[in-house]
Amino acid sequence: MPQHRALEQWVDQVARVTRPDRIHWCDGSEEEHQVLVDGMLRDGTLVGLNHQRYPGCYLHRSHPSDVARTEHLTFICTSRKEDAGPTNNWMEPTEARARVGKLFEGSMKGRTMFVVPYLMGPVGSPYSRVGVEITDSPYVVVNMRLMTRMGKIALERLGGSESFVRGLHSLGDLSPDHRFILHFPEERLIWSIGSGYGGNALLGKKCHSLRIASWIGREEGWLAEHTLIIGVEDPSGQVTYMAAAFPSACGKTNLAMLVAPQVLSGYKVWTVGDDIAWMHIGPDGRLRAINPEAGFFGVVPGTSVKTNPNIMAAVDRDTIFTNVAVTPDGEPWWEGKEPTPPDGLVDWRGNPWISVEGPAAHPNSRFTVAARQCPSISPRWEDPEGVPISAIIFGGRRARVAPLVYQSYSWQHGVFVGAGMASETTAAQSGAVGVTRRDPMAMIPFCGYHMADYFAHWLDMGRRIAHPPAIFHVNWFRTDQNDRFLWPGFGENIRVLKWILERVRGQGIAVETPIGFIPTPDALDLDGLGLPDGAADELLRIDSDAWLTEHAEQGRFFDRLAPRLPVQIRQEHAVLHQRLSRLSVPVNATEPPHTP
């Protein structure tokens, strides 16, 4: 392959260090896939599932200590520490190469080294980018084949270019003590060792398409976001595109595949992407989004024919399940699939399931499936120019504080709303679940540079977009005193999207509040929903005390980003305090407003 000289040189160089038994260049073909699957069935990396009911589906059980992203072992290795910023772990590049380079020495002995060229983004799109992942995990290869445009197609796009993101991955010894996920954004390089888990090991996804791409996007003037993309079709057939950023396991896949209830069946959601968006300013001056991925790596628990019929229809064939339970008939099973678990389940570890010891499927068990299998996939999901975005929706998992929906007053205020976000942690990352943390734009684990510079970049984008999208915030997860969700969520979220659509069109009734425009309860279409009395008011209530506490917590977070924090964010933060203080005379408003 003389036309890929730079790539070949890098492959040789890696092989000299990692010393694999064999090198295989992946072409992405069906035959290659079958050979890999057969090998993994033989060595137990994959387990076959019921092939009548789930043709082409397999189960992978990961190492029990390797089930989620490990943010404390994820580093940004920029030459200057301040460029990574206070919200990222940082390692000095030379030290990183020495420390982690040792772990790669001989790490592929006895294994095959796979060279996986991949394309992020639609074939023929000016916004698509090539990456190459070198890995010793066949599980990674078969996942990359579903998640990206992999093999021949990517090499064709690469041609003689030296410009591709290099990703080196080895399972190493799978020990968390020898696990590192390193990013060298200045060199467009990723090193990952010691984990086979999705976000740590499928390097096209979070490592390339968010951490490295966010860095490139700032240099080149575009956005790489942890964001779904949908087209919302109204009863007249008009489709309006929206992007929504929620933290991990906070509902992107489900919103991206929403099925409206019968009373609102004139509305239809088309899926363009479920996790990542690259957004450029198009020749028409509008913000245009592409989904860089070609598949979905989605949360399994909670998925059922009621909550997400589209994904249920998609994952009944040619799907890889990771860390789910299995029924005696060889069918995958998970909590939430149906109300009662069948007898004789084997749990995600491969043992007979004992319910008191925990769930049968791991809470972060995942499916990997090609996007084209999704019944709601948008006819424009591979549009090379991307789809024009009319609304950006931020959201989080908040038992209290954040109302069901509100709209920002302007792009600048919207950027502040995103910057001030917080959400309760989930099983998608290792560590405690349910802890509220600041997670601006759902990017705290994924922004490859200083968060304050990231806010500045968002502000700058707004100035350059001819018609900037309207910005909203949603929360499906508010609870009552008994910790029950106040909002039914899932398909019923169309009611919120409908109001957002109306607002984008200059319709839709709203009241001004300190935090933004909120719909009046009448403005939301709650027809046939049967919410209990008072629930709608509670869902839309702004508790000024709780918001003053929130304001103070935002302030502490912004202080960490000083002195790089853009003055506009400080100003919006101060104005929020003024508006909150006017709302009522709060008893505990002891903090003086910030002066911009």
Under the rule (CB under 5 A), what is the footprint of Mn ion?
248, 275
Of these partners, ligand GTP, ligand SPV, Mn ion, none, which one is at the site of residue 493 (CB under 5 to 8 Å by kind)?
Answer: ligand GTP
Q: Does 199 bind ligand SPV (CB under 6 A)?
A: yes
In the complex, what is the shortest distance from the CB of residue 320 to ligand SPV, in angstroms, rounded to a whole number?
Answer: 13
Site for ligand GTP in 473-532 (CB under 6 A): 476, 485, 489-490, 493
Instruction: Kindly state the DSSP code that residue 444 receives in the 8-state scheme.
Output: T
Q: Does 224 bind ligand GTP (CB under 6 A)?
A: no
Residues paired with residue 320 on neighbouring β-strands, in sequence order: 58, 368
Q: Give the residue, chosen from 85, 117, 198, 468, that forms a contact with ligand SPV under the rule CB under 6 A.
A: 198
Residue with tokens 């933060």: 573
Cα separations in angstroms, 119 against 26, 75, 87, 150, 206: 13, 24, 29, 6, 14
CA distance 509 to 524: 9
Instruction: Kindly state the DSSP code that residue 468 receives in the 8-state scheme.
Output: P
CB contact at 8 A, 229 and 241: yes
Site for ligand SPV in 254-293 (CB under 6 A): 275
CB contact at 8 A, 258 and 242: no
Please tell me whether residue 69 adopts helix, strand or coil conformation. Answer: strand
Q: Which is nearer to ligand SPV, 300 or 535 (CB)?
A: 300
In the complex, what is the shortest distance from the CB of residue 73 to Mn ion, in angstroms, rounded to a whole number?
Answer: 18
Site for ligand SPV in 292-311 (CB under 6 A): 297
In the complex, what is the shortest distance from the CB of residue 351 to ligand GTP, in angstroms, rounded to a whole number?
Answer: 23
Q: Give the residue, chosen from 252, 478, 498, 573, that forms a contact with ligand GTP under the rule CB under 6 A.
A: 252
Q: Give the residue, chosen from 78, 240, 253, 408, that forms a contact with ligand GTP under the rule CB under 6 A.
A: 253
Q: Give the residue, chosen from 137, 148, 214, 248, that forms a contact with ligand SPV under the rule CB under 6 A.
A: 248
Q: Which is nearer to ligand SPV, 346 or 427 (CB)?
A: 427
| Closest to 473 (Cα-Cα) out of 546, 555, 413, 384 | 413
First to last CA, the chain: 59
Q: Does 295 bind ligand GTP (CB under 6 A)?
A: no
Of these partners, Mn ion, ligand SPV, ligand GTP, none, which one is at the site of residue 251 (CB under 5 to 8 Å by kind)?
Answer: ligand GTP
Sheet holding 47-48, edge to edge: 47-48, 58-60, 320-322, 366-370, 295-299
By residue count, the chain amounts to 596
Q: Does 249 bind ligand GTP (CB under 6 A)?
A: yes
In the complex, what is the shortest distance from the CB of residue 515 to ligand GTP, in angstroms, rounded to a whole number?
Answer: 21
The full DSSP string for 104-156 is HTTTTTTSEEEEEEEEES-TT-TT-EEEEEEES-HHHHHHHHHHSEESHHHHH
Neighbours of 593 (CB within 10 A): 15
Indicate which residue of 57, 77, 207, 250 is catalytic: 250
Site for ligand GTP in 186-205 (CB under 6 A): none
Quick one: how far is CA 521 from the chain centroid? 31
Q: Does 206 bind ligand SPV (CB under 6 A)?
A: yes
Q: Does 248 bind ligand GTP (CB under 6 A)?
A: yes
Size of the site for ligand GTP (CB under 6 A): 22
CB contact at 8 A, 479 and 485: yes
CB contact at 8 A, 327 and 347: no
Of these partners, ligand GTP, ligand SPV, Mn ion, none, which one is at the site of residue 271 (CB under 5 to 8 Å by kind)?
Answer: none
Q: Which is nearer to ligand SPV, 183 or 206 (CB)?
A: 206
Q: Is residue 26 annotated as part of the catalytic site, yes or no?
A: no
How many helices (H) and strands (E) would you count in the chain?
16, 29
In the complex, what is the shortest distance from the CB of residue 402 to ligand GTP, in angstroms, rounded to a whole number?
Answer: 14
Positions that interact with ligand SPV (CB under 6 A): 69, 198-199, 205-206, 248, 275, 297, 428
Which sequence positions are flagged as catalytic?
250
Positions that interact with ligand GTP (CB under 6 A): 246, 248-254, 274-275, 298-299, 301-303, 307, 428, 476, 485, 489-490, 493
